[in-house]
Amino acid sequence: MSILKHQRPVWLALSLVLLCAQYATAQTVTGSISGTVMDASGNAIAGATVRLTNERTNDARVLTTSESGDFRFTAALPGIYTIKVEQKGFSAFERRGNVLTANEHLAIGELVMKVGEMSETVTTVAEGTPVQTESTEHSALLSSKQLELISQRGRDVTTLLKILPGVAYGGESETAGSGFGSGIPQIQGGRNTQSTFNVDGVRGNDLGSPSTFSSTVNFDAIGEVKVLLNGYQAEYASNSSASVNIITKSGSSQYHGSGYWYKRHEMFNANNFFNNNTFFTSPLTGLTTTVPKPRYRYNTLGATFGGPVWLPKVSKKVKDKLFFFYSYENQQTLNPQGLRQVTVPTALERQGDFSKSFTSLNSVGQPVPIFIRDPAKTGNCSASGQTACFPGNVIPAGQINKNGQALLNVFPLPNATDLTITKGQYNYVFQESIKVPKEQNLFRVDYKPSEKDSFYARGSMWYADNQGINVPAGTANWGLAGLHYTFTDNGILGNWTRAITPRLVNEASLGVRPS
């Protein structure tokens, strides 16, 4: 007994530290379920036993109703719950299919018990969308079923938000995570830099660009997406716009898995308008032709698996309390960039001969010649006078800097020289497809060691590598050198919920996301 007395202050101190850590590093994703137990005459039933059971994992919490027949389960993880009420002199009442979403205060209303034997059970199933009476928030929800049924080309959850009212989105994402993050839409008229995106309560906005969501989660690892639009609770007061919380999937008491492969290829596409109206000299045939279709290839391969943790020589009780979920996705993409039209030095210009060079076309479509000044002469070097120009606009070989000439030879030769087409605005056309391999690993473990304690840990690893010319922080517009722009986003989260008493619950959540 003395040992327990000494341990109690330690546990309370640790709980306080973890509670403070929650608000410093993450936001809660749990909600509450409340209701009132009544008899057929409308009188409150006090002291009734209420059991809340998670239908996925079968873990349960128990409390008794107050004098007014009310009950409230706080700090409950998002999921589908069964509520069972028992009291002497009444038939047991059971209501299944109560869906609790992230951050929701779910009021299930009055549960009416009938006089009878406790061995008898009256079972009902929750149907429809309950009216929100416990809070004034305006929110929206994307369930895992909606994520499965709604087709979205890039399988990017930020793009899917546009189906919600009040969300303005400017473009369609080609792939999840784009190059290094997904653009955040404008929600309810707020700026996209002011919206907060969380994954299991941990901030997912890019630390340098808050308008970018960089903690990408693939579709098959998402349990639900809860969007708090406005009027939300006080714990979200730091947000000046919407708060989006992405909840990852967890394991259940049964094994479930999936595998998938998505493919897109340019052979299924038509060439776009600009390629069909831009001409260049083909390096293969030497003929003038339109720009062909760019390489457009998206291969997405992934799998998920989850269920109870099976450990040899471990009692069945642990198997019923420990669950896991794992998701893997690999993307191999060739992302076509826009058509580029630039000006590069011609073969004559590389030798110092500018006699056939021009700056533009005049009003009648004639080329305007270029004049090259001799730095050793004084006077005019323009259309009105060429006393300071090189004769014939040709630089003598002895006056050409060999290093500068070598730099010019780095550029490709012109491939669009028909002035009737280019109008003198460019002489080189090219289009690249950036290679962007991506990989994500996400795992989650849920553990309920006792009726009063529950714990879960989630970790994720995201990797993307932009390989090409037009990559972030890349080289000049002419495509001189290919580069790699590697982006990673890794994080881990731990959550512990302790039911100190039936009406006093402590939830601690700590997340780490290296910048």
In whole angstroms, what separates CA 364 from the centre of its chain? 53
Look at strands 138-143 and 60-64 and give their pairing: unpaired
Helix, coil or strand: residue 242: coil
Nearest C-alpha neighbor of 389 from the set 400, 378, 401:
378
Tokens of 38: 């009544």
pLDDT at residue 104 in the model: 85
Among positive and negative, which fits the CA dihedral 349, 353, 356, 357? positive
DSSP annotation of 220: G
CA distances 238 to 49, 83, 137, 205, 235, Å, are: 38, 34, 15, 14, 8
Give the C-alpha separation, 216 to 136, whole Å.
30
pLDDT at residue 3 in the model: 38
DSSP annotation of 412: P
Give the C-alpha separation, 508 to 323, whole Å.
20
Give the H or E element holding residue 279: strand 279-281
pLDDT at residue 68 in the model: 92
Nearest C-alpha neighbor of 446 from the set 54, 72, 138, 142:
54
Which domains are assigned to the chain? 29-125 (2.60.40.10), 138-247 (2.170.130.10), 256-339+432-512 (no CATH), 345-410 (no CATH)
Q: Which amino acid type is present at position 170?
A: G
Tokens of 457: 């840990």
pLDDT at residue 209 in the model: 86
Asked if 75 contacts 148 with a C-beta cutoff of 8 angstroms, the reply is no
pLDDT at residue 127 in the model: 63
Asked if 258 contacts 172 with a C-beta cutoff of 8 angstroms, the reply is no
Number of neighbours of residue 33 by Cβ within 10 angstroms: 22
Strand (E) positions, 295-343?
A: 297-308, 322-336, 340-342
Number of neighbours of residue 464 by Cβ within 10 angstroms: 25
pLDDT at residue 501 in the model: 80
Q: What is the pTM of this model?
A: 0.80
pLDDT at residue 111 in the model: 92
Q: For the chain, 515 residues long, give each residue's pLDDT as a single digit of tens.
A: 333 444 455 444 444 444 443 333 457 788 889 999 999 889 999 999 999 999 988 888 888 999 999 999 988 889 899 999 999 989 999 999 999 988 888 899 899 999 887 667 766 676 656 666 666 667 788 888 888 888 888 899 988 888 888 888 767 788 888 878 888 888 888 888 888 899 998 889 888 888 899 999 999 999 999 888 776 666 665 667 788 999 999 998 889 999 999 999 999 999 989 888 888 888 777 788 889 999 999 999 999 999 998 777 666 667 778 999 999 999 999 999 888 888 999 999 999 999 888 877 777 778 888 888 999 888 899 888 888 999 989 999 889 999 999 999 988 899 988 888 888 889 999 888 999 999 999 999 999 888 888 899 999 999 999 998 888 877 766 667 788 889 999 999 999 988 888 778 888 888 888 75
Give the C-alpha separation, 428 to 256, whole Å.
54
Helix, coil or strand: residue 240: coil
Look at strands 196-199 and 138-143 and give their pairing: unpaired
pLDDT at residue 207 in the model: 81
Number of neighbours of residue 161 by Cβ within 10 angstroms: 22
